[in-house]
């Protein structure tokens, strides 16, 4: 595939702390909700935990060298709050800051832009014990933590991303039982939505107060894209997308969101000042995109009453239908047109922000092969095909006027895939979990050549 992206287009890869670091008890890190959750029997698919993961806390140099070989312009990684603020007393842990400073400085030596995610789901357990995202105190704690990180890393960071996928951090984590803390409260997750929006704004303000406009500010969302019945799609768009984007980018919740959740949520947890705080200027909106959904209205009534666990409270009368194939190893459909449609729609609605694809990639059943000369390889042709088709869709959106400035492949490495543990491989680098040996997959080599051939 010819690379016709502009010269200044940013190519990168992405990871997240709990998925790669391991070393959960080292250098003063405190437990996070993911440590607690993954150690709860039955919570993850095969009982896997992130205790070791890809051991990147120790192998970070080797991993950053991979990035250098790949020739990326930027690396998106997350900072673990449990390493920086390991106790509720507000005193930063110097060893945690040292670790991320080494990463940032090594990236800069390689000429790779650090794109930091401040919160990728690893909430300190002590905050959860006080109510977690259901308690607005958590939002303020995140703001304080952001200030601590900004004071140390300051303008060496290219882009500060506050949150990764607040949809997952609220609905999947508090509404359903799929992700930590897995409370399954259904509509009881809506306070988490508001407190995540608040935390986003407090983090932007905290970092901007210290760094000013020398860095870019951002937030990353997955924006579930649904096809099918128009009313169902509209309602899901309100719950999954606009419940976050409207407060952050417009300073208000859509009235229709209140209307469709009437009877299951009174939104009385929104306090004066929350929306002003949530609504901060940002430069870039991060889009995580993997697949699309197909939905229809069922003949179940929506009310009464939704009280049980739900991944999407307010949508009990909507059915998720099987999607057309092919599917990835996650069972997700492959729909590059959905990426194009997502970018066009988001830009149409929020034309004031640039867009970056902060995650896109594919889980495959990768097989490590040992060649006759002892070298190893992974022939992941399906992943290359997936990436080629999604890059082409992104380029079409760019040509059609979307201010798309970058693309981060998920992921640099196979890693701890949350509920699915080590059973699902998203990496362009294969990790042999028995030895921690890294092997570049064919998709790594493809991506390296693709980046090098741009312009």
Positions annotated as catalytic residues are: 165, 359
Annotated ligand binding at 418? The verdict is yes
Report residue 190 as tokens: 């809506």
Cβ-based nearer residue to ligand BGC, 144 or 178: 178
How close are the terminal C-alpha atoms of the chain, in Å? 13
Nearest CB to ligand BGC, comparing residues 137 and 330: 330
Query: Binding to ligand BGC (CB under 6 A): which residues in 412-431?
Result: 417, 426
Under the criterion CB under 6 A, does residue 53 sit at the interface with ligand BGC?
no
| Per-residue burial over 50-83, b = 16 or more CB atoms within 10 Å of its CB, e = otherwise | bebbbbbbebbeebbebbeebbbbbbbbbbbbbb
Q: Which of residues 213-232 bind ligand BGC (CB under 6 A)?
A: 222, 224
| 436 annotated as ligand-binding | no
Applying the rule CB under 6 A, the residues between 391 and 410 that interact with ligand BGC are 410
Residue keyed to tokens 């986003």: 200
When asked if residue 45 is in the footprint of ligand BGC (CB under 6 A), the reply is no
Q: Which is nearer to ligand BGC, 235 or 347 (CB)?
A: 235
| Beta strand pairing call for 74-78 and 10-14 | parallel
What does DSSP say about strands 293-297 and 318-321: parallel, antiparallel, or unpaired?
antiparallel
If binding is defined by CB under 6 A, does position 320 make contact with ligand BGC? yes
Peptide bond into 305 cis (omega under 30): yes
Q: Using CB under 6 A as the criterion, what x/- string covers residues 248-287 for binding ligand BGC?
A: ----------------------------------------
Minimum distance between the CB of residue 199 and ligand BGC, rounded to whole angstroms?
17
Query: HEC states along 355-421?
Result: EEEEEECCCECCCEEECCCCCEEECCHHHHHHHHHHHHHHHHHHHCCCCEEEEEEECCCCCCCHHHH
- What are the C-alpha distances in Å from 266 to residues 137, 187, 355? 20, 10, 33
CA-to-CA dists, residue 255 to 189, 267, 346, 387, angstroms: 18, 11, 19, 38
Contact between 21 and ligand BGC by CB under 6 A: the answer reads no
State yes or no: 60 annotated in a binding site: no
Listed in sequence order, the residues at least 6 apart from 382 whose beta carbon sits closer than 8 Å to its beta carbon are 362, 364
Interface with ligand BGC, residue 288, by CB under 6 A: yes
Q: Give whichever of 165 and 380 is closer to ligand BGC, judged by the CB atom.
A: 165
* Least distance CB 14 / ligand BGC (angstroms): 8
Angle CA 300–301–304, to nearest 5: 130
Q: Which two tokens stand for residue 43?
A: 């919570």
Contacts of 304 (CB under 8 A, 6+ apart): 263
**CB 67 to ligand BGC: min, Å:** 18
Q: How far is the CB of 233 from ligand BGC (least distance, A)?
A: 11
165, 229, 335, 414: residue in contact with ligand BGC (rule CB under 6 A)? 165
337 is in an annotated binding site: no
Query: How many of the chain's residues bind ligand BGC (CB under 6 A)?
Result: 17
Helix (H) or strand (E) holding 233: helix 230-236
Q: Closest distance between ligand BGC and the C-beta of residue 410, in Å?
A: 6
- Alpha-carbon distance of 1 to 271, in angstroms, equals 51
Select the span of 55-63, 162-170, 248-256, 344-352 touching ligand BGC (CB under 6 A): 162-170
User: Does residue 197 bind ligand BGC (CB under 6 A)?
Assistant: no
- For the bound state, the minimum distance from the C-beta of residue 251 to ligand BGC, rounded and expressed in Å, comes to 25
- Cα radius of gyration rounded to whole Å, the chain: 21
410 annotated to bind ligand: yes
Instruction: By CB under 6 A, name the binding residues for ligand BGC.
Output: 16, 19, 164-165, 168, 222, 224, 240, 288, 293, 311-312, 320, 359, 410, 417, 426
Please report, in range form, the residues annotated as the binding site for substrate: 19, 120, 164, 290, 410, 417-418
């Amino acid at each position: 595939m010819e690379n016709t992206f502009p010269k200044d287009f940013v190519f990168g890869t992405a990871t997240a702390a709990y998925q790669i670091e391991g070393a959960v008890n080292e250098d003063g890190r405190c437990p996070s909700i993911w440590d607690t959750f993954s150690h709860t029997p039955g919570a993850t698919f095969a009982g896997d935990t992130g205790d070791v993961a890809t051991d990147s806390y120790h192998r970070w140099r080797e991993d950053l060298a991979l990035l250098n070989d790949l020739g990326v312009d930027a690396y998106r990684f997350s900072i673990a709050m449990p390493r920086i603020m390991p106790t509720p007393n507000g005193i930063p842990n110097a060893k945690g800051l040292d670790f991320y400073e080494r990463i940032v400085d090594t990236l800069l030596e390689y000429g790779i832009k650090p794109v930091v995610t401040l919160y990728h789901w690893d909430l300190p357990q002590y905050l959860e014990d006080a109510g977690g995202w259901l308690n607005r105190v958590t939002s303020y704690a995140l703001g304080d933590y952001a200030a601590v990180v900004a004071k140390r890393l300051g303008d060496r960071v290219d882009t500060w991303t506050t949150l990764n996928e607040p949809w997952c951090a609220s609905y999947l984590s508090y509404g359903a039982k799929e992700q930590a803390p897995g409370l399954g409260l259904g509509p009881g997750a809506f306070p988490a939505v508001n407190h995540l929006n608040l935390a986003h704004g407090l983090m932007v303000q905290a970092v901007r107060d210290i760094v000013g406009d020398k860095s870019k500010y951002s937030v990353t969302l997955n924006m579930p894209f649904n096809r099918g019945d128009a009313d169902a799609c509209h309602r899901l768009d309100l719950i999954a997308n606009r419940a976050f984007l409207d407060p952050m980018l417009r300073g208000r919740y859509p009235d229709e969101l209140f209307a469709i959740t009437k009877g299951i949520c009174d939104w009385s947890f929104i306090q004066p000042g929350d929306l002003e705080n949530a609504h901060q200027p940002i430069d870039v909106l991060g889009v995580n995109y993997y697949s699309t959904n197909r939905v229809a209205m069922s003949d179940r009534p929506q009310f009464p009453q939704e009280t049980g666990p739900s991944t999407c409270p307010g949508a009990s009368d909507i059915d998720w239908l099987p999607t057309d194939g092919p599917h990835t190893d996650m069972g997700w459909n492959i729909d590059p047109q959905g990426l194009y449609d997502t970018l066009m729609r988001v830009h149409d609605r929020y034309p004031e922000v640039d867009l970056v694809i902060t995650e896109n990639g594919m889980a495959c059943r990768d097989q490590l092969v040992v060649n006759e000369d002892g070298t190893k390889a992974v022939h992941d042709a399906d992943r290359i095909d997936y990436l080629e088709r999604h890059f082409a869709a992104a380029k079409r959106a760019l040509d059609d006027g979307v201010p798309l400035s970058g693309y981060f492949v998920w992921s640099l490495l196979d890693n701890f895939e949350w509920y699915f543990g080590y059973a699902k491989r998203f990496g362009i680098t294969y990790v042999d979990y028995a030895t921690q040996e890294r092997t570049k997959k064919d998709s790594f080599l493809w991506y390296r050549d693709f980046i090098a051939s741009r312009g």
